[in-house]
């Protein structure tokens, strides 16, 4: 089954989508008393939802029903659209529906990776090692550690000029050669959620397949930014075995996780989660499970609205054209990097020449002498620029990138002193971009950072550092309840 014939991508549709995310125009009152439209540079954490997705969900609500009901009109409609959502996912990642299935899991990429780890451990027990990289989000590390205790090998990042921050391919090849047929799978992020650096996933697939290992791709920070070619590659060894990502990273609400996998990897064993919706027959002393995908992997009532919102977004992105989206975002990231590189006092992590080492989505940096928490707070309070700071759930990579920069700059310190210093100052500021981001957003960031560098002591005096490392303004307070509260909104509706 393939999603029905897809219309060709169009520039006009891309232009329409770009300017229509919910919340692009949200205004806040700043520490200066001025009201301003925010600049949203936190897409890698969660993307704003596209207006077309919201509109689709609003249209769906009157028909919403449980997909496990069968014969009434709403159930038929919900079931058919929910099935279409699965086909859309497969189409979006170019996975052949004959050999691959897509299913939704409860909590984003994290839920998906936990399921994949448990399933592959059970499926291929003789292969007891997982190879991953130091670049990973904890969601693509801890689930594997839990299922393969003591047997997860972390390949370091590259520090040679031209690919600083990418996975070290030489070390990856050595690790695979060392563990050989013990390797169950290699699991790697397609795009770093810290630096935005793109890993060569097809090259890694080829390497892994040489040893009979599988390739699992964490596409959480990739799916919104780059086309994914799961199967049908010129060399079948380049095909990906499993791809996992989350709805909230691709402009959809909520966080359904999606697993796209070769069917044979999940077939022939009891699914990790059992319950309603995935069984054929249940007696008090036995039960038989459905053999068909994706049902057998979706125990319980699924996140129907989450899946439909996600599929709506993927369809809209497809109609806008993922190749074009990737090209335009790459151009924007290069523009932002050039602007940031002109600032004094800024450390940008990873290779900054994007013609040598491509990036998608994110750039992380620090201002020398200012803590990341302070910079993020000032960007918010004085410039209405929303960024993320700290370690982005990728502690090992952040630590390694910071240590490497310190080692280059502080050549009179010992390794221990550098490591202690890196731990003390661990954290970065991350600006991350999406389909709706513009050159004006990048300019606003560069100008704000220029002012922060120029007026650093003035800004420092305005904040108090809390013991945990967060910064609070000495006089300015933001009261979220004045803008929105669930209770207030419900009260207003009830009392209108």
Binding positions for ligand PLP, rule: CB under 6 A: 44, 107-110, 137, 139-140, 189, 193, 218, 220-221, 246, 255
Cβ 258 to ligand PLP shortest distance, Å: 10
Rounded to the nearest 5°, which phi and psi values hold at 326?
A: -60, -45
Cβ 248 to ligand PLP shortest distance, Å: 6
**Which one, 191 or 448, has the nearer CB to ligand PLP?**
191
**Which one, 321 or 350, has the nearer CB to ligand PLP?**
350
Cβ 192 to ligand PLP shortest distance, Å: 7
**Which one, 139 or 147, has the nearer CB to ligand PLP?**
139
**Which one, 127 or 225, has the nearer CB to ligand PLP?**
225
**Which one, 241 or 381, has the nearer CB to ligand PLP?**
241
**Which one, 143 or 321, has the nearer CB to ligand PLP?**
143
Residue whose C-beta lies closest to ligand PLP:
108
Cβ 226 to ligand PLP shortest distance, Å: 13
| Alpha-carbon gap, residue 46 to 249, rounded angstroms | 5
Cβ 105 to ligand PLP shortest distance, Å: 10
| Alpha-carbon gap, residue 240 to 257, rounded angstroms | 18
| Residues with Cβ within 8 Å of residue 10, at least 6 apart in sequence | 319, 320, 321
Give, in order, the Cα–Cα distances in Å from 405 to each of 99, 164, 333, 398, 417.
Answer: 45, 11, 22, 11, 13
**Which one, 254 or 271, has the nearer CB to ligand PLP?**
254
Cβ 13 to ligand PLP shortest distance, Å: 26
| Alpha-carbon gap, residue 62 to 428, rounded angstroms | 45
**Which one, 306 or 321, has the nearer CB to ligand PLP?**
306
């Amino acid at each position: 089954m393939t999603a029905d014939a897809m219309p060709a991508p169009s520039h006009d549709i891309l232009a329409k989508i770009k300017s229509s995310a919910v919340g692009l125009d949200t205004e806040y009152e700043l520490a200066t008393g001025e009201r301003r439209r925010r600049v949203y540079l936190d897409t890698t954490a969660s993307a704003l939802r596209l207006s077309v997705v919201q509109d689709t969900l609003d249209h769906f609500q009157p028909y919403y029903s449980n997909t496990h009901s069968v014969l009434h009109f709403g159930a038929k409609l919900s079931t058919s659209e929910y099935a279409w959502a699965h086909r859309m996912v497969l189409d979006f990642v170019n996975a052949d529906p004959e050999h691959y299935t897509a299913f939704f899991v409860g909590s984003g990429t994290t839920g998906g990776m936990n399921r994949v780890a448990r399933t592959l451990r059970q499926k291929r027990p003789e292969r007891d090692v997982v190879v991953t990289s130091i670049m990973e989000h904890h969601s693509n590390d801890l689930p594997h550690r839990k299922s393969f205790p003591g047997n997860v090998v972390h390949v370091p990042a590259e520090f040679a000029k031209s690919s600083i921050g990418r996975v070290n391919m030489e070390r990856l090849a050595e690790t695979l050669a060392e563990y050989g047929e013990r390797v169950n799978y290699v699991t790697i992020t397609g795009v770093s959620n810290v630096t935005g650096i793109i890993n060569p996933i097809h090259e890694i697939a080829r390497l892994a397949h040489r040893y009979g290992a599988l390739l699992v791709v964490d596409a959480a920070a990739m799916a919104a930014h780059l086309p994914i070619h799961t199967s049908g590659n010129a060399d079948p060894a380049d095909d990906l075995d499993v791809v996992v990502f989350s709805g909230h990273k691709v402009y959809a609400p909520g966080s359904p996780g999606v697993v796209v996998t070769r069917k044979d990897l999940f077939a022939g064993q009891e699914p990790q989660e059992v319950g309603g919706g995935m069984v054929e027959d249940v007696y008090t002393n036995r039960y038989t499970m459905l053999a068909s995908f994706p049902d057998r992997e979706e125990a319980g009532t699924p996140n129907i609205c989450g899946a439909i919102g996600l599929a709506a977004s993927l369809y809209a992105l497809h109609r806008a054209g993922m190749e074009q989206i990737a090209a335009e975002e790459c151009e924007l990231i290069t523009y932002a990097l050039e602007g940031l590189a002109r600032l004094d006092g800024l450390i940008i992590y990873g290779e900054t020449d994007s013609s040598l080492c491509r990036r998608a989505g994110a750039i992380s940096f620090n201002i020398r002498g200012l803590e990341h928490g302070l910079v993020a707070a000032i960007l918010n309070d004085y410039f209405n620029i929303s960024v993320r700071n700290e370690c982005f759930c990728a502690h090992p990579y952040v630590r390694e990138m910071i240590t490497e920069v310190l080692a280059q700059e502080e050549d009179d310190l010992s390794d221990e002193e550098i490591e202690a210093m890196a731990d003390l100052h661990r954290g970065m500021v991350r600006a991350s971009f999406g389909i709706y981001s513009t050159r004006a957003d990048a300019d606003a960031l560069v100008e704000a950072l220029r002012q922060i560098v120029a007026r650093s002591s003035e800004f420092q005096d305005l904040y108090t550092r809390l013991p945990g490392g967060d910064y609070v303004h000495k006089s300015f307070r933001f009261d979220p309840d004045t803008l929105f509260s669930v209770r207030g909104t419900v009260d207003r509706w009830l009392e209108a």
